[in-house]
Amino acid sequence: MNQNTDLLTLRSVSKSYGKVPVLHDIDLSIRDGEFLTVLGPSGSGKTTVLRLIGGLEPLTAGEIRLDGQDISRMPINKRPFNTVFQDYALFPHMTVSGNVGYGLSVRHVQRREIARRVAEALELVQLGRFADRFPAQLSGGQRQRVALARALICQPRLILLDEPLAALDLELRRQMQEFLKSIQREIKTTFLFVTHDQEEAIGMADRICVMQAGHIRQLGTPHELYYKPNCEFVARFFGENNLVAGKLGPVQGEQRPIETALGRLVCSISDQPHLKAAPDGANAFAAFRPEALHLADATEGDNRFSGTIADLAFAGSSTVATIAAGSDTAAQRLRLRIPSRIDGSALKAGETVSLSFAPHEGHLVLA
């Protein structure tokens, strides 16, 4: 296993159903041993990518390569991949052991070897004492782990997970997120995880592929996508973000100003050549996270403006304020997140506050 080596590569992959295109010329590389999450809203094409890789759907165009070999037309039963579906697809008439060992039995592995490997797989997912139970006797989280054990037991090169946590309640989902990531780190098998849940993606993935309308909009680490979205869609979709429209000013070293209805805002453009190359006057957005906003003492200068608190929401350790900033005729709705214990209790709805953010906490996105 080497995370610097590409295990699987999609080259110019497209998919249409009749005359309806759902994937447009996709290029994607999955590294050996990584946890890659494909993230997007409903209809973005994320599940279609998984089904094409798994051989559940034929390509319309392009190719899929495993270790450099074209497997685009390889039958599903020949691909060294296993899939965990949202509904788990367990056999209700089989015990946990029977479900987990099914893939080995159809490969005519000896019974003694199946029993040994089933026991190992169940211990790995912490279900050793449930071997003789049936799926109906298990909780949702336990059934999910049975499905994972069944996927792991045949030692696949890649495990495909199609929103497997979507049916679980919030607390169990968080527990299973931690469990899946710990399992992946332990066995070092490549995981491709499909979800629409941003929190799930941030907490689990080594890299995230954000999709919209059949296109890949950005591929990078959670940190890169969170702090340096490369387009308006990613900035709006990936976590909370304040976006203020304006026009770009001249580059100033590793920073660039943008003239907005809130005044002159200055943002960092380090390591982003496309923002340095964009022409003066180009339409863009200043993007900054709710936690990047700070209560300020004055309203003059770059990245400083005032607004009225329209709403307050207590969220435990933090308080989220909705701020109406700018002119009355074109008020910009912004979100401010501050620690409840320190500043949250002092804020009042209808109050006017001064706000600021540091240039390194701001980011520019071309419109």
pLDDT digits over 95-105, tens only? 999 999 998 99
Buried-state track 62-92, b at ≥16 Cβ within 10 A, e below 16: bebbbeeeebbeeeeeebebbbbebebebee
141 Cβ neighbours under 8 A, 6+ residues apart: 168, 172, 175, 176
What percent of the chain stands above pLDDT 90?
Answer: 76
Could you tell me which of 39, 45, 43, 54 has the C-alpha nearest to residue 26? Answer: 45
Cα angle 122, 123, 125; round to 5: 65
3-state secondary structure 163-191: CCCCCCCHHHHHHHHHHHHHHHHHHCCEE
| Predicted pLDDT of residue 298 | 67
Please indicate whether residue 144 or residue 191 has the higher confidence score (pLDDT): 191
* Closest listed residue to residue 52, CA positions, set 33, 32, 71: 71
> What is the per-residue pLDDT across 267-280, written as a single tens digit (0 to 9) for each?
999 888 999 999 99
Look at residue 284 in the predicted model and tell me its pLDDT.
Answer: 97
Q: Which CATH class is domain 6-227?
A: alpha beta
Looking at the chain, which residues constitute the CATH 2.40.50.140 domain(s)?
240-366
Higher-confidence residue of 170 and 221: namely: 221
Bridge partners (DSSP) of residue 216 are 211
* Rounded-to-integer distance, Cα 91 and Cα 89, Å: 7
Tens digits of residue pLDDT in 277-324: 999 999 999 999 999 999 887 667 789 999 999 999 988 888 899 999
Contact status, residue 35 vs residue 181, Cβ threshold 8 Å: yes
- Is residue 127 within 8 A of residue 149, CB to CB? The reply is yes
Give the pLDDT band of residue 330 (cuts 50, 70, 90): low
Residues pairing with 320 in the sheet: 313, 337
pLDDT confidence of residue 271: 85
The pLDDT of residue 344 is 56
Asked if residues 201 and 37 have their Cβ atoms less than 8 Å apart, the reply is yes
In a 13 Å sphere around the CA of 215, the CA atoms on its Cβ side amount to 7
Pairing mode, strands 20-31 and 6-17:
antiparallel
Distance of CA 333 to the CA centre of its chain: 25
pLDDT value at residue 291: 93
- CB-CB contact of 317 with 339 (8 Å): yes
- Give the pLDDT mean for 61-76: 96
pLDDT score at 88: 78
Read off the pLDDT band of 46 (50, 70, 90). Answer: very high
358-367: average pLDDT? 94
Within the chain, which residue ranges are assigned CATH 3.40.50.300?
Answer: 6-227
CATH of domain 240-366: 2.40.50.140
More confident residue, 54 or 345: 54
Q: What length does the chain have?
A: 367
| Residue % of the chain over a pLDDT of 70 | 96
How many other CB atoms sit within 10 Å of the CB of residue 153?
22
